[in-house]
Amino acid sequence: MKNVSILFLLIIASFMNVSAQQTVIKVSTNETDLVLKTSPLGRIYQAYFGEKLLNESEIQALSHFIARPSSDGSVTPRGWEVYPASGNEDYFEPAFAIQHNDGNMTSYLYYKSHEVKNIDSNVKETIIRLADDKYPVEVTLHYMSFAKENIIKTWTEIKHNEKKPVNISKYASAMLYFESPAYYLNEYSGDWSKEAQLSTQELKFGKKMIDTKLGSRAAMHAYPFFQIGLGEEVKEDKGKVFVGTIGWTGNFRFTFEVDNVNNLRVISGINPYASTYELKPNEIFTTPEFIFTLSYNGVGKASRDLHAWARNYQLKDGKGDRLTLLNNWEATGPNFNEEILGEWMHEAKKLGVDMFLLDDGWFGNKYPRFDDKRALGDWEPTREKLPNGVQGLVKKAKEAGVKFGLWVEPEMVNPKSELFEKHPDWAIKLPNRETYYYRSQLVLDLSNPQVQDYSFGVVDKILSENPDLAYLKWDCNSPITNIYSPYLKEKQNHLYIDHVRGFYNVIKRVTDKYPHVEIMMCSGGGARCDYEGLKYFSEFWCSDNTDPVDRLYIQWNFSQFFPIKAMAAHVTSWNKAASIKFRTDVAMMCKFGFDISLKEMNADEQKFCTEAVANYNRLKRVILDGNFFRLVSPYDGNHTSVMHVGESKDKAVLFTYDINPLYKEKYYPIKLQGLDPMKKYRIREINLMPGATSRLAENDKVYSGDYLMKIGIDAFTATRLNSRVIELTAE
């Protein structure tokens, strides 16, 4: 017995010895450490993911989730393996699955080397190379950490050198593990016109999946982002929260699996549904980026970190300005002509916005686009509507003193179009089954390089012929239907992935050639909202639902993940029970525009809107680039409030909305956030209807940031659909 325990101690000691040579890799931000560590067997595990650790020696000694010696002396490789492959000793969902040339479906990945590149003083890239010991398969993990913003993004490259192509059927961007007594998932689901609706559930043993199979966009029924409250439900200002989002404008999948010991495993990546990928020798399969953060002070902090990171590093023209605009879609649909549009341009000028945006309906001659059943693909201006073409409109806008923007949908085709008549094989469509149409259109096959050239050519022609065109609204109204690419033939399993890669090829060529053009990402409302798309698009359309009440929720939810300057919001005539002021005040908290004719407004309303645009222009940098605070949630009662605080804390804008106040309801003061407690701020209510005076008790008074954050201001009212915009200026 004594001998056995001595032997066991010796084994432990030798394990400790080996462990001394274990490689420790730290991916860190200013607040968070993700510690990865090799086991004595040479595979790599997540040793820690949480608040920054202070003692280097303790980091080096971490061993909790790493392969350990068993009582019989052997070392069990089970643990939190960073990129577990199918067929190894872990019985839960793997990140990676491959079938080798000999039919073997397993892979064991061993650590080979790593390097850390300093991209700049704030950004580091850690590259970790893994390889199978029995097959020539290499996996490279990339982690890019943004110290100040507390964000990490990660992606993976897969490569092999077997004789023939191999099949990969799982290829996650990342896998992360958590140990917590409870996990609460915030997921976002919806449909056209009810985008990103929040629901919460506790994750218990087993798997929960969020995925989509829409092909041409990430979202509609499920959204490519989530939050997990660790230990308690997600809260705005307290608690530990993990927030993740995938940058992929196509099918994605998040798998949340609570295992036998109540640990949570989160796998994020492309949805491998119908997409087993055949990888040629030496071809590199690069996964999308998974972007994540941990907050120790609630989800508000995580949002602000994501916003700052996106503006600094990811969002197209993240630090640049944005154009305010007047759009004609809601008022005219496709029924307009040059003269009518000329009037709209003058209205835009009168409003004071930067640009007039012409929406759908300007193209097609053989099949003029008078409804959405024809002409997609025929990008020639309809002569009977626009005898002087787009050039004539750009000129007219110039004369009116505004910029000009144009709607396009270059990834789609209507069967009733000259393009389809000429190239029926350019559409994704089954050769042997009846065709199913979504919005009477088909998706062009962007896995085909010729179609990519066509799609780029459409936009290139418009932009090269009209160098003054300032803006595009780039739409994508149909998911992929009739899943068959005439180009890919027997490799249909590549369609979902190659199509999205084809789309990136097109949009990248456009933005490389025309970097100054602002482009809105739109997809039948807000179905395209992901961080890979936003590398090329400077904003996205949150929803066709512009009812201001619904929008308060939609905007609240998108702001969890995306910066305000990327979220387009327009004043329209949806919900006329709400005043023009309420509708304007709701749109004005985001990237602001109008989609309503001045003719629908009386003189006071017109004057109000003109003043609101002037206020927005004055406060634009604070609203678009400031820190954003969600103060009162619309989910918590009958009111909601948000605020933006400028970088220097000298200026702030507070928005308050009374949605459905109750009779004799007790109101609580709104406690502001993000101000300098030592500064004194003058309070001024703006965006008042002509002739109205502010009834805010604090109006035109001066309070310290300390007072405003600890005591707050009484800005809520008993009036239904009432709103306030309040400017704070440090004196």
User: ∠ at Cα 227 (234, 54), nearest 5°?
Assistant: 80
Nearer to ligand GLA, 188 or 541 (CB): 541
Site for ligand GLA in 464-483 (CB under 6 A): 475, 477
Are 414 and 441 in contact by the 8 Å Cβ rule? The answer is yes
Task: Pick one of 166, 230, 522, 566: the residue that binds ligand GLA (CB under 6 A).
Answer: 522
- DSSP for 451-504, please give it: HHHHHHHHHHHHHHH-TTEEEEEE-------S---TTTTT-GGGHHHHHHHHHH
Distance separating alpha carbons of residues 448 and 454, to the nearest angstrom: 10
Give residue for tokens 């019989």.
72
Interface stretch with ligand GLA, choices 199-207, 521-529, 659-667, 706-714 (CB under 6 A):
521-529
Q: Which residues contact 489 (CB under 8 A, 6 or more apart)?
A: none
Give me the amino acid identity at 220: M
Q: How many CA atoms lie within 13 A of 518 on its CB side?
A: 26
Q: Is the dihedral of CA 210, 214, 220, 225 positive or negative?
A: positive
Task: Pick one of 236, 354, 360, 547: the residue that binds ligand GLA (CB under 6 A).
Answer: 360
Kindly state the smallest distance separating residue 526's Cβ from ligand GLA, in Å.
Answer: 8
The count of residues interacting with ligand GLA (CB under 6 A) is 12
Nearer to ligand GLA, 77 or 405 (CB): 405
Q: Residue 514, Cβ neighbours under 10 Å: how many?
A: 17
If you ran DSSP here, which 8-state letter would residue 312 be given? I
Q: Which residue is nearest to ligand GLA (CB)?
A: 360
Distance separating alpha carbons of residues 270 and 286, to the nearest angstrom: 11
Task: Pick one of 42, 69, 381, 524: the residue that binds ligand GLA (CB under 6 A).
Answer: 524
Kindly state the smallest distance separating residue 334's Cβ from ligand GLA, in Å.
Answer: 8
Task: Pick one of 83, 256, 407, 484: the residue that binds ligand GLA (CB under 6 A).
Answer: 407
Nearer to ligand GLA, 83 or 541 (CB): 541
Kindly state the smallest distance separating residue 193's Cβ from ligand GLA, in Å.
Answer: 9
Nearer to ligand GLA, 234 or 408 (CB): 408
Examine residue 410 and tell whether it contacts ligand GLA (CB under 6 A): no
Distance separating alpha carbons of residues 696 and 714, to the nearest angstrom: 7
Angle of helix 338-351 relative to helix 603-625, nearest 10 degrees, comes to: 70
Are 651 and 728 in contact by the 8 Å Cβ rule? The answer is yes
Interface stretch with ligand GLA, choices 120-128, 417-425, 520-528, 677-685 (CB under 6 A):
520-528
Give the x-and-dash track for 533-552 against ligand GLA (CB under 6 A): --------x--x--------
Kindly state the smallest distance separating residue 179's Cβ from ligand GLA, in Å.
Answer: 43
Q: Residue 54, Cβ neighbours under 10 Å: how many?
A: 8
Examine residue 525 and tell whether it contacts ligand GLA (CB under 6 A): yes
If you ran DSSP here, which 8-state letter would residue 438 be given? B
Kindly state the smallest distance separating residue 556's Cβ from ligand GLA, in Å.
Answer: 20
- DSSP for 365-427, please give it: SSS--SSTTS-TT--SB-TTT-TTHHHHHHHHHHHHT-EEEEEE-TTEE-SSSHHHHH-GGGB
Nearer to ligand GLA, 224 or 524 (CB): 524
Alpha carbon 718 to chain centroid distance?
Answer: 36
Task: Pick one of 81, 347, 359, 530: the residue that binds ligand GLA (CB under 6 A).
Answer: 359
Nearer to ligand GLA, 154 or 477 (CB): 477
Q: Which residues of 334-357 are buried (b: 16+ CB within 10 A; e: fewer)?
A: bebeeeebbebbbbbbbbbbbbbb
Nearer to ligand GLA, 369 or 639 (CB): 369
Burial of 365 (0-12, 13-18, 19+ CB in 10 A): middle
Examine residue 225 and tell whether it contacts ligand GLA (CB under 6 A): no
Interface stretch with ligand GLA, choices 86-94, 142-150, 518-526, 582-590 (CB under 6 A):
518-526
Site for ligand GLA in 301-330 (CB under 6 A): 329
Nearer to ligand GLA, 275 or 543 (CB): 543
Distance separating alpha carbons of residues 374 and 394, to the nearest angstrom: 25
Nearer to ligand GLA, 329 or 344 (CB): 329
Q: Which residues of 452-486 are buried (b: 16+ CB within 10 A; e: fewer)?
A: bebbbebbbebbeebeebbbbbbbbbbbbbbebbb
Kindly state the smallest distance separating residue 327's Cβ from ligand GLA, in Å.
Answer: 8
Kindly state the smallest distance separating residue 192's Cβ from ligand GLA, in Å.
Answer: 8
Nearer to ligand GLA, 382 or 477 (CB): 477
Kindly state the smallest distance separating residue 280's Cβ from ligand GLA, in Å.
Answer: 38
Q: Contact positions toward ligand GLA, by CB under 6 A? A: 329, 359-360, 372, 407, 475, 477, 522, 524-525, 541, 544
